[in-house]
Structure 1
Amino acid sequence: MTTLCAALVSLSLGIPIAPLTSPQPPEPVKLLIITGDHGHDWKTTTRVFEEFLPETGRIQVDITTKPADDLTPENLARYDVLLLNYKDTANGAPETRWTDANKNAFLDAIRGGKGLVVFHHASSAFTKPNWEEFEKAIAGGWRAQGFHGPKHVFTVKKTAVSHPISDGMPSEFVHKLDELYQNSMIPPGATVLATAYSDPKLPRGTGKDEPIIWVATYGSGRVYQNVLGHDEEAMSSPEFREWMRRGVEWAATGKVTASPTQ
C-alpha cells in the first residue's frame, strides 16, 4: 500500500516514476582448466567440461594446454578458480612442464584466495619425487598410495555434513561405470562430503566407505576434490555434473546457486 500511495502522489505531482528493474544475475565465475599432459584422455575430458560447465550460465571456462606459458601471476589473476586436469608424464611437451616460477605462481594463487578444483587422477601429479607443498595445496588424494579395481557401477552417498555444495543434493545416487578410488590421502582439516562403499567381494575391494568428494583450505583458498570421472561415460552422469558445477562455484565464491532442477 505504501508503494502504491507513493506512486499515486508522484503521478498527481507530475513526477516521473523510475521503471522497476529486475536484479541482474551475478557475473559468472571465471574458471581456468589446467591441462595438456596426463596419463588419461585429457583432451576428451576437457572437452566434456567445456561443454557442460557453462550450461547454467554460472561458469565461464578458459583452457590452457601450456602451463609453462600460462601459470604466471599476471594470467592467474584473471581467474576466480582453477581446475586441475593435469598430470606430469615423461611424454609431456616442453610447454606443459611446470617451471619453478610456474609452481610458485600456482601455490601463491591458491594461498592468496583463488579457488582450486582437483579432478580425478590429477591428484597423482608431481609424485616420485613428491612435491609436498603441492600435496598440501590439493588436499591429498591419490598421490602414490591410491589404487582402484576394475570399473563398475556403484552408489555414491552424501555424508551427514551440512555444506553449501551438498545441501539440497540427493542423499545418494547410482553412479555410471567408473573407477572407485581407494586409499585416498585425506589431510587433517579436510571435510568429506560423499563416499562410496568398496565391496570386498569385488577385485581389490576394501570393505570400507571410501571418500569420493571432499573439501579443504590452503591458505585463503577453497579446495574441492572430486575423484569421479575417469572417462566421458563416467562424466555423463547428471549427478556428477551437478556436483562438479557446485564444487567449481563454491571454490570460487564460497557459495552455491542451486540449479533449476534442484
Structure 2
Amino acid sequence: MGPPRVLVYTRTTDYRHDSIPAGVDCLRALGEFEVDHTDDPGAFSEPLEAYGAVVFLSTSGEVLTPAGRERLAGYVEAGGGFAGVHAAACTEYEWPYYGELLGARFARHPRLQPGRALIEDPGHPATRHLPSAWDFTDEWYDFTTNPRTAVAVRVLMCADESSYEGGGMGADHPLAWCREQGAGRVFYTALGHTVEAYDDPRFRAHLRGGIAWAAGLEP
C-alpha cells in the first residue's frame, strides 16, 4: 500500500505568492504523501474521497465554484482532512462555511521580518519537534477574529508580538491550530510566506505533522 494521496490546490484570484512552487515541491519531497497538484477548480467536480486530505497552499480570493464548495464541505463533514497554509486564510471570503472551517480569516500583516513563535501545544504532530520558542521569518498574520474564542480550535502555536514590529492581536495571537469539522479534521498554519521557509527542516516537519494529522495518519 502506497502513501496516502493529498490534493494540493493553489488557485489564486488575488495575490499570488512566489513561494507556491517551492511549497508544492516541499510537499512532494516529504515522501509522506502522494501529491496531486492543481490550480483547476474543475478538480472539485470529481469525488474527493480518494484523498486523505485536501491542502489549500497559499490560495487567495474566490477559488471554488458553487459545486466545488458543496463537494469540499461534504468531503470534510464525512471525515475528509483539510489543511490550510499561509494565504489559505485569504480565501473564499464570500463563503461563510469556509471561515468556520478554517477557524479565522486574514485581516492584515506587518512587513516581512524575523520574529518568534511560542509553542502552546508540544504534543501535536505539527509542533512536537519544535523548540518552545521558535525564531522564524514571516509576515506574522493578524486575523479578523481570535480563533480560540470565535471557533472551537486547539491552538498549537502563537506569535510573540514582543519579538517583531506591527503585531495587532496582542498577547493572545494564535498562528497555527487544528479543529474538527463534522467527522473531518482541519489544520491551519499562518506561516509559509517565503520561498526559504520550504527549505527549513523544522517548517517542513511542521507541515508534515499538520497534514498527516488532518489526514488521520496521526492520533
Same fold per TM (> 0.5)? yes
Amino acid paired to 1:214: W
TM-score when normalising by structure 2: 0.87
Once the two structures are TM-superposed, the CA of residue 62 in structure 1 deviates from its matched residue by 0.8
Count of matched residue pairs: 215
- In 2: Cα distance, 1:231 partner to 1:135 partner: 24
Return the offset for 1:221: 0.8
Q: Which runs of 5+ in 1 are unaligned?
A: 1-25, 90-96, 257-262
Which of these residues, 6, 30, 38, is aligned with residue 5 of structure 2? 30
What does residue range 32-111 of structure 1 map to in structure 2 within 5 Å? Answer: 32-42=7-17, 44-67=18-41, 69-74=42-47, 76-85=48-57, 86-88=59-61, 97-111=63-77
User: Structure 1 residues 107-116 or 230-239, which shifts more?
Assistant: 230-239
**Which one is further off, 220-229 or 166-175?**
166-175
1:213–1:58 Cα change, 3 Å: same
CA distance in 1, matches of 2:68, 2:121: 38
Is 1:158 equivalent to 2:119 in the alignment?
Answer: yes
Give me the CA root mean square deviation.
2.3
- The C-alpha deviation readout for 1:208-236, integer Å capped at 9, x for no partner, is 24211100111111100000111213333
TM-score normalised over the length of structure 1: 0.74
- SS at 1:103's partner residue? helix
Structure 2 alignment gaps of length 5 or more: none
1:192, distance to aligned residue in structure 2 (A): 0.5
**Would the aligned equivalents of 2:23 and 2:195 in 1 still touch at CA under 8 Å?**
no
Does 2:86 match 1:120?
yes
Q: Pick from 101, 116, 130: which aligns with 1:137?
A: 101
Identical counterparts, % of pairs: 24
Larger strand percent: 2
Structure number with bigger Rg? 1
Report the AA paired with residue 33 of structure 1: V
Note if contact 2:113-2:164 (Cα within 8 Å) is conserved in structure 1: no
- Structure 1 CA distance for aligned equivalents of residues 91 and 15 of structure 2: 12
